[in-house]
Amino acid sequence: MNTLLLSTLLSLAVSGSVMAGDLVKMKGSTQGRVNHEFIYQDGCQTCHQGSGKKNATDAACVECHGDINSITVDESKLAIPEAHPHKSLHYNQGASCLACHGEHEKKAPVCTECHRTWFEVM
């Protein structure tokens, strides 16, 4: 998987204007993230074993990106130190990637259910 990840990063470097997490049209009417293009070429099986709505778990995210602890967040950009999305006071390790990140849609992170203005829809 890591080689795949590497090759995507390289292809991104030449593609210019699109940013790593941008949401673009992928397959038919399905939108997806630019850096995940290789997954779509693979037939979506990396995330969905079987049908679309059935299986999508953190396993695929973790395989490429590592677990929540190993993903660095630029702390200088946080509105307040407590609003660290990967070290939440409410959930800490007890959150799925999917609580805040969506692959096919822009999604507001779980904290916006109660709090305002800390994070953009991603």
Which chain residues interact with other proteins by CB under 8 A? 53-57, 79, 82, 88-96, 98-99, 110, 112-117
Closest CB to other proteins among residues 15, 96: 96
HSE at residue 77, side-chain half, CA atoms within 13 A, is 6
Could you tell me which of 70, 68, 88, 69 has the C-alpha nearest to residue 78?
Answer: 88
CB of 61: closest distance to other proteins in angstroms?
Answer: 12
CB of 118: closest distance to other proteins in angstroms?
Answer: 8
CB of 4: closest distance to other proteins in angstroms?
Answer: 24
Closest CB to other proteins among residues 11, 92: 92
User: By the 8 A CB rule, do 21 and 33 touch?
Assistant: yes
DSSP-derived 3-state class of residue 61:
helix
User: By the 8 A CB rule, do 37 and 31 touch?
Assistant: no
Closest CB to other proteins among residues 25, 116: 116
Instruction: Provide the token pair at 119.
Output: 């994070």
